[in-house]
A and B are shown apart, each in its own frame.
Chain A
Amino acid sequence: MLNKLIFANLGHRPIRTLLSVLAIAVEVTMILTLVGVSYGTLDGTANRARGVGADILFRPPGSSAIGLSSAPMSDKLPKLLMQEPHVTFAMGTMVQPLSGFDTINGVDLEEFRKLNGGFHYLQGGPPVNDDDMVVDEFYARQKHLHVGDTVELINHTWKISGISESGKLARLCVKLPVLQALTGNPGHLSQIFIKLDDPGRAQEVVDALRLKYPGYQIYTMEEFTSLLSINSVGLLRNFIGVVIGIAVVVGFIVVFMAMYTAVLERTREIGILKAVGGSSALILNILFRETLVLALLGSVLGIVLTYGTQWLMRHVVPASLVQETVYGWWPIATGVAIVGALLGAIVPGIKAVNQDVTEALSYE
């Protein structure tokens, strides 16, 4: 019976109900999109690192898991590392950050081929000239690039020599010495990929290298990719926390306004319910159930809208932003929406409960 009244109340003001649901949906979409992009970006980075085919990653002291902004290691280091037990091959690359999450990577393509067979080209082939660049299929799609096209990056004009299948090392690769020279880092590397004769000994080799090269960030590839998670990246974790906080406030304001208006508008009806024996608990029950329905409908719509943002990113910025569907966050985002909404219903609820019956009944 009570549910009938609640749905009748919500249906009585369809525009207000729709706007409330939509606002809560935007709140949920905001959380899920941010989390999805975070997961997508980190997983993409992890997949490309795995795609290199190395067993160990060797990085400079003080570097973070998510990005590299300098090239402080000597390019003589790979040769030294190749003398270590079980190391069969070591290849250095240089990483130059671009805008957003994009980077341009300098790589010796012959060494890269030795490590994992090289890129699989969908169009064109490897760089021949110093200005040649290989881009992956997503970057090419996002920037509408074809083999032979030129692209302006780090104050340099590059010519697309090949479009590769995604998932290996980076989205943009150029010749290592060219990038080193262009960025003023001749003879320097950002990271080194190490291949072992027995991948099962990766941890053992990492332990030995850590003793020999203290301060360097040395990981098995499994360990490195596990670091690429939201909880491991403090900045991202804090950012998501802030967005969740904003989402709770948005939900609070939306529901506060909607329910406050509803209570004002339904002053007389609340008076009627009280006059026929409705208790304060009943009035609160009705308001909170209405709020819960709004929050749940908003959450469902928000989840559906997330597929829309995912589609949009896949078609507009497939290389820059990759959004994953993170099912584990559905209940969290729904919980955030419910908490924000219920908080927003408290003050209107108190107002409804405290309404004088006789005044409410004479309300026009």
Chain B
Amino acid sequence: MSEPAIIQIIGLTKTYQVGDVPVHALRGVNLEVGKGEFVAIIGASGSGKSTLFHVLGGLTPATSGTVRINGRDLAGMTNEERTNLRKTVVGFVFQKYNLLPTLSAEDNIRIVRYIANRNTEFDPAFQEVVGLLGIADRMKHKPRALSGGQQQRVAIARGIVNSPAILLADEPTGNLDSENSAAVLKLMKDLNRRLGQTILMITHDSDAASYADRVVRMRDGCIV
């Protein structure tokens, strides 16, 4: 581990109630991710990796255990505090891009800065990232006018625009062809190397996981 742990997970469990049946999605996960690390969590469908993504992002609360992001324990957080966490501490990249269809690529990025109460003008460093992502000439287009690869690049730009401590990526190449997958993964690797961006990537694809510094495997709700 190159840096002190920015993510600390101790004994994390998550149980869903499906009707009367409890579903144990996470069964005592322990994991540490250092600052500036690029970690891939790999596992089959139903292994609990997406649930882990949601808990880490503050999108859903854990059932028990400790999750510390940047030193802050998620367990004691109110809804409002989790919302604030998502504003600035955690950035997301989703499999299905999840861009707002009515806004242009640029506005999809700007609105995240607006939500975080930051100046909506992009600083030069961000302009450099946009250049790096290769979407500078597509910023005025709406998502439907962009290819899958371009949409995912916009989503990555949105994910890092507020300089989050962690970028969480859930199957970022799941909807892309191999060429675009490679390009997006290379970009994420570049962001990690050049900007020191901590990245936790969820994937079921071992090729995608190979871009990470470290690969963690999950099965049946546990790290193996």
Contact = CB atoms under 8 A, between A and B. Distances in A.
Contacts of A5: 100, 102-103, 107, 111
Nearest to A1: B114
Contact of A277 (B83, B101, B110): B83
Interface stretch (A111-119, A162-170, A265-273, A315-323): A265-273
B111 A357 contact: no
Chain A binding surface SS class = helix
A11 to B, nearest CB: 7
A12 to B, nearest CB: 5
A275 B110 contact: no
B88 interface: yes
Nearest to A7: B102
The size class of the interface chain B forms with chain A is: 20 to 34
A274 B115 CA distance: 10
A271 B79 CA distance: 14
B57 interface: yes
B223 to A, nearest CB: 21
B98 A273 contact: no
Most chain A CB within 10 A, of B87, B110, B111, is at B111
Contacts of B98: 268, 271-272, 275, 361
A277 B87 contact: yes
B115 A273 contact: yes
B102 A11 contact: yes
B38 interface: no
A84 B58 CA distance: 91
Interface in B73-122: 79-80, 83-84, 86-88, 92, 94, 98-103, 107, 110-112, 114-116, 120
Contacts of A215: none
Nearest to A282: B115
Interface of B: 54, 57, 59-60, 79-80, 83-84, 86-88, 92, 94, 98-103, 107, 110-112, 114-116, 120, 158
Given A1-B107, A5-B107, A276-B87, 15 more contacts: A1-B110, A1-B111, A2-B114, A4-B103, A5-B102, A8-B102, A272-B98, A275-B98, A276-B115, A276-B158, A277-B84, A277-B112, A278-B115, A357-B59, A358-B60
Interface of A: 1-2, 4-5, 8-9, 11-12, 268-269, 271-280, 282, 356-358, 361
14 contacts: A1-B107, A5-B100, A8-B102, A271-B98, A272-B98, A274-B83, A276-B112, A276-B158, A277-B84, A277-B115, A280-B79, A357-B59, A357-B60, A361-B94
